[in-house]
Structure 1
Amino acid sequence: MNFISNLFASSENPASLGAKFRKKRLAVFENLFFQHFQKDQAIKVLDVGGTAYFWKGSSLLNLPQIEIVLLNLSTEDTKHPKLQSIAGDATSLPQYKDDYFDLVFSNSVIEHLYTFENQEKMAKEILRVGKKHFVQTPNKYFPVEAHYALPFAQYFPKNLLLSILTKTKLSRLRKWSESEAKQYLEEIRLLDEKEMKSLFPNSKIFKEKVAGLTKSITAHNFY
């Protein structure tokens, strides 16, 4: 039972499916990164919505002159000297001038912004402050909704999905609290490939595949 519950836990659990997908995604990102950046150059990275846990084990932290800024609504304790945590709003970054960062990175964050208008604002700021970008989001049309680990949950009426989340253990083998479930139902707006192309018009689109289906979509400008 522990094996099953770990498998369907959030991606913060290293034994979960989500963590395994993140590990593969990080390998794709690092391969692109090291094709375009020299190991001894000074590099500033903004990770929008990132955590120190995500970068644990990443080879980027071994670079001598790298600085990774973790931007979230609130700060977190970061013990690694190359990770800095700040509080801020991804849709408005007036504290940074154009092209301030060598790279803006974001993993499974842009779908948490409630509206397409907010997603547009985040995308514009990413393109403005970053010379390079790598922005990933779950695919709206993948059969298993990424946040609830439920088949076709993105098509359910919100009231039905709220009941499933709070009254059953079908989602990740646990009952969600009502407040947590309502928060997710309000904030998540999944994106498809067409919308990602419109948000990042001059980017390449990398499709993460599972059984021939696109699980997630990444927009990047590592040409």
Structure 2
Amino acid sequence: MTDYKKHENSPYIGPKLSGLGTKLSWYARQKMFKSLMEMADITPEITVLDVGVTSDRRLDCNFFEKLYPYPHKLTAVGLEDASFLEQDYPGLTFVKTDGLRLPFPDKSFDLGVSFAVIEHVGSRDNQRAFIHELCRVSRTCFITTPNRWYPIEFHTALPLIHWLPHSWFRQILRWLGKEFWAKEANLNLLSEKNMLSLFPVDAKVRKKHFRLLGLISNLVFYIEN
């Protein structure tokens, strides 16, 4: 079963940005972090789980660890070896594990966060399981994902074709030589409607939109169990 893992001999799952693109990505992530700090009741004592850290060291990767002021209460989870985070942010705990099968008891954390990971865990059933698992181990959750209905698909930098039926979109990616992104296991975009259908039925969900050039580029969800 494929999760947000960076596969051997395959590209990094996030958009490959440089220069201005990286700066824009970093700016957007700072805005998401600010939104989290406003929506959640953050104190130095709450326990936090971040699911989806990576071994990539670029500016816009693992941005939550860069910005979060209380690493001694932070546990970071990923399928890649990101153990260097424990040295970079003293007090942080890194656990190499699958986000679909978290090795923690129910409600182990006050807050669980996941930034732009859910579109990489595979099928809708996997995406639902990912959300439910994060909700299981956390009292509250904060989840973000790119909006499928933004005119540019951020991973491929291609316009509009991701609005087509999924099978057509994937076939066009294969024709363009983007076999990695053509696989549902590596990229399965979500709309707001898709996301809202995946949460536990008894969860209280608050949503927020981030805009780029006036259009909704990213979806944010804050869940209270």
TM-score computed with the length of structure 1 as normaliser: 0.76
Asked if 2 retains the 8 angstrom alpha-carbon contact of 1:48 and 1:71, the reply is yes
Asked if 1 retains the 8 angstrom alpha-carbon contact of 2:119 and 2:188, the reply is yes
Pair 133,11 (structure 1): closer, same or farther in 2 beyond 3 Å: farther
Asked if 1:73 is matched to 2:79, the reply is yes
Question: Which has more helix, going by share of residues?
Answer: 1
Counterpart residue number, 1:211: 213
Instruction: Give 1:74 deviation, angstroms.
Output: 2.4
- 1:35-88: CA deviations, max 9, x gaps? x1333x2x2211110247413541x32x3x742222111221221113222211
In the alignment, structure 2 segments of 5+ residues that lack a partner are 1-14, 55-60
Instruction: Give 1:27 deviation, angstroms.
Output: 1.5
Name the SS for the 2:197 alignment partner: helix
Counterpart residue number, 2:27: 20
Asked if 2 retains the 8 angstrom alpha-carbon contact of 1:11 and 1:17, the reply is no
CA distance in 1, matches of 2:141, 2:128: 15
Counterpart residue number, 1:38: 43
- 1:183-220: CA deviations, max 9, x gaps? 22211101111121122252111111223321111110
Q: Quick one: which amino acid aligns to residue 210 of structure 2?
A: E
Please, what is the CA RMSD of the aligned residues?
2.6
**Which aligned runs of 4 or more in structure 1 are off by greater than 6 angstroms?**
11-14
Asked if 2 retains the 8 angstrom alpha-carbon contact of 1:197 and 1:205, the reply is no
Asked if 2 retains the 8 angstrom alpha-carbon contact of 1:141 and 1:192, the reply is yes
Pair 106,12 (structure 1): closer, same or farther in 2 beyond 3 Å: farther
Counterpart residue number, 1:82: 91
Pair 53,113 (structure 1): closer, same or farther in 2 beyond 3 Å: closer
CA distance in 2, matches of 1:31, 1:140: 25
Asked if 1 retains the 8 angstrom alpha-carbon contact of 2:49 and 2:76, the reply is yes
CA distance in 1, matches of 2:197, 2:139: 18
Pair 216,45 (structure 1): closer, same or farther in 2 beyond 3 Å: same
Pair 49,163 (structure 1): closer, same or farther in 2 beyond 3 Å: same
Pair 203,150 (structure 1): closer, same or farther in 2 beyond 3 Å: same
In the alignment, structure 1 segments of 5+ residues that lack a partner are 1-7, 167-180
Structure possessing the higher radius of gyration over alpha carbons = 1
Relative CO higher for 1 or 2, CA cutoff 8 Å, sep ≥ 6? Answer: 2
| Equivalences, count | 193
Name the SS for the 1:75 alignment partner: coil
Instruction: Give 1:144 deviation, angstroms.
Output: 0.7
Asked if 1:146 is matched to 2:154, the reply is yes
